[in-house]
Structure 1
Amino acid sequence: MTDALPAEELWRGKPVPPPDSWPGARVFDRSPLCRQADFETGWFAWWAESLGERLRYHRKLWEFAFIAQALHERGLLRLGARGLGFGVGQEPLPAWFAARGCRVTASDQDVAAAEQAGWTRSDQHSAGLEALQRPHLCPPETLFRSVVFRPADMTAIPPDLTGFDFCWSACALEHLGSIAAGLDFIEASLETLRPGGVAVHTTEFNLTSDDDTVDHQGTVLFRARDLHALADRLTAAGHRVAPLDLTPGDAPLDRHLDLPPYRPEPHLKLALEGHETTSVGIIVTRGG
């Protein structure tokens, strides 16, 4: 891994959308890391355009595309499907899902907790449906008819949130105060689903070490051993975890380490609290 910026011809103005862009059918049968190769596929270009995002090498865009693609190929982005988003901030997914006929409950911290944590100052918090409007993705009347917003503490999910076809979160669970709290949240999120429902979550992954990491801070970093232990725990409880694929990739942008203050692009791997990190996606199907 190097902090030397790759040659501009490798990333500026790229990736170029393939002429045959479409959502994939069997892309994510595993729970993967963010890798450069995904950005250069037809399915990724399709999702970037559909979500109203500029195609670029940025891991946040990968998280949105990963969540949407994983749900799409499992047949869950359909008319009448019920979805629950955690820590949605101001992301485009609730509007896009609603435009496809899903009935969405979008949740985030209550305003007081978000202000204390600093999320309101950085425009990364949603206090209601107004912040989730994306008229270019979903007509306002459809959004207000199909999306419900409510505050929800991810460490104490309201017990009435049940029976959903799918749930998701995009890099929110690493902010719950500890590695244990983040893992507990993933397990608890399955209780909001019907049997056979699917949870798709992204979070921070420690590429540097399977021992030394960041815990009990505002942002924690999950290690391979944490995720393997979670997979074992969920499997023992009767759930199906898409096998972990924690290979980091070896393309030029996979080897580039972005240093603070972070660049708008390319931004796949980054230095965080002295560790090399990236995004990891986790897919779990609730057992019967």
Structure 2
Amino acid sequence: MPDRVSALERAVREITEIQKAHRLVLDQANRPDTALWLAQPPLLASGGPGVGVFAEGALCRQQSFEQPYFSYWAMRLNEGLRYHRKLWEFVFIAQALWERGLCSPGRRGLGFGVGRERLTALFASMGVAVTATDLASDGRVEAGWEATRQHAGGKDGLRYPDVCPDDVFDRNVEYRPCDMNAVAADLVGYDFCWSACALEHLGSIEKGLAFIERSLDCLVPGGWAVHTTEFNVSSNDATVDHEGTVLFRRRDIEALTERLQRQGHTVLKIDWSSGDQPLDQYLDLPPYRDDPHLKVSIAGYATTSIGLIVRKGMRPALDAPTVAS
């Protein structure tokens, strides 16, 4: 028996080494010329928030990183400029909400699965009253977020004085634990809500779609929901479902769109182009790089980030007065 175990261990080790070597070969073969991305994207210091940038939903693409608005939001977040899809998600959310006049004093925002992201501090710095939510302590351990330090654990975990002064942060931010599969009934009356790559971890594609639908209940009529998640670029059929991370297909998003439109909501159409520039063609393989990282391989599928923008339906007027002729 010991000899058999030893042989099995050696075989597993050899297979693992071959897989690693294979990944390295593929990575080197597919990696774009460093001149195309090293020390990039350019910092466009004169930029400001864009106008009409995200009139519709979008996929993460290289082109976005090289626009003035992208530099602006990266600087506001005090995030180093890099070709990374997570940064694109933060910029997408901030830009989409700013364009719709929601980043201003008197507005109320609700963040789901916020982890340690800087968006809470950013919105608070603009005068928005923010409720930031994430898994409770028992949930975060189960999901593995605590071990990887991706869980805020409370209000102080979201404090970034380089983004928002402490006094403004304390005045404008509250923190609550929240299970995105069972959102509390009293989380209502918000002008907008958001989540950044969180809903793909809810257990299934359907649970993720149900969360987006549920998030609209938290908004005032005419409020906006902006969510980013994993998108399967490879296939509109085969995908990953009922796993710790699921991959949404175009058909899943289109089915959700029909579902929400039947309820009177507006889902902005999506630009499905995944880009044709050099970094759009590069597929990052595990273990993933910090840069460039726009498209990645997950379970054998080419994946990138998608941004969705939904407006809650307006409540119809009741007993409208008759206008005399």
Q: TM-score, normalised by structure 1?
A: 0.98
Query: 1:32–1:280: 8 Å Cα contact kept in structure 2?
Result: yes
Query: 1:2–1:256: 8 Å Cα contact kept in structure 2?
Result: no
- The residue aligned with 2:186 is 160
Query: In 1, distance between residues paired with 2:243 and 2:55?
Result: 32
State which structure, 1 or 2, has the greater radius of gyration over its C-alpha atoms: 2
1:118-139 deviation digits (Å, cap 9, x = unpaired): 1000011121111001010111
2:282 matched to 1:256? Answer: yes
SS in 1 for 2:30: coil
SS in 1 for 2:222: strand
2:264 matched to 1:238? Answer: yes
Query: In 1, distance between residues paired with 2:225 and 2:197?
Result: 14
1:29-77 deviation digits (Å, cap 9, x = unpaired): 1110000000000000100011101111000000000000000000000
Query: In 1, distance between residues paired with 2:256 and 2:55?
Result: 18
**Amino acid of the structure 2 residue aligned with 1:234:** L
**Amino acid of the structure 2 residue aligned with 1:229:** A
Q: Shift in Å at residue 18 of structure 1?
A: 2.9
SS in 1 for 2:279: coil
2:100 matched to 1:80? Answer: no
Q: Which moved more, 1:217-226 or 1:235-244?
A: 235-244
Query: In 1, distance between residues paired with 2:264 and 2:142?
Result: 38
Bigger relative contact order (CA 8 A; separation at least 6): 1
Query: In 1, distance between residues paired with 2:42 and 2:52?
Result: 22
- The residue aligned with 1:170 is 196
Q: Which moved more, 1:237-246 or 1:263-272?
A: 237-246
2:219 matched to 1:193? Answer: yes
- The residue aligned with 2:231 is 205
Q: Shift in Å at residue 3 of structure 1?
A: 5.9
Query: In 1, distance between residues paired with 2:145 and 2:44?
Result: 36
Query: 2:44–2:72: 8 Å Cα contact kept in structure 1?
Result: no
> Where do 5+ consecutive residues of structure 1 fail to align?
none
Q: Shift in Å at residue 117 of structure 1?
A: 1.2
SS in 2 for 1:198: strand
- The residue aligned with 2:15 is none
SS in 2 for 1:145: helix
> Where do 5+ consecutive residues of structure 2 fail to align?
1-26, 315-325
**Amino acid of the structure 1 residue aligned with 2:161:** P
- The residue aligned with 2:148 is 122
Query: In 1, distance between residues paired with 2:70 and 2:146?
Result: 30
SS in 2 for 1:162: coil
Q: Which of 38, 48, 52 in structure 1 is aligned with 2:64?
A: 38
Query: 1:59–1:279: 8 Å Cα contact kept in structure 2?
Result: yes
Q: Kindly tell me the number of residue pairs found equivalent between the two proteins.
A: 288
Question: What is the correspondence of 1:1-288 to structure 2 with a 5 Å cutoff?
Answer: 4-18=30-44, 20-288=46-314
SS in 2 for 1:75: coil
RMSD: 1.2
Query: In 1, distance between residues paired with 2:56 and 2:162?
Result: 32
Query: 1:3–1:257: 8 Å Cα contact kept in structure 2?
Result: no
Query: 1:3–1:256: 8 Å Cα contact kept in structure 2?
Result: no
Task: Rate the CA distance shift 1:3–1:77 in 2: closer, same or farther, 3 A.
Answer: farther
Query: In 2, distance between residues paired with 1:202 and 1:3?
Result: 30
Query: 2:45–2:71: 8 Å Cα contact kept in structure 1?
Result: no
Query: In 2, distance between residues paired with 1:117 and 1:54?
Result: 28
Query: In 1, distance between residues paired with 2:267 and 2:71?
Result: 27
Q: Which moved more, 1:250-259 or 1:13-22?
A: 13-22
SS in 1 for 2:280: coil
**Identity, % of aligned positions:** 55
SS in 2 for 1:183: helix
Q: Shift in Å at residue 25 of structure 1?
A: 1.4
Specify which structure has the higher proportion of helix.
Answer: 2
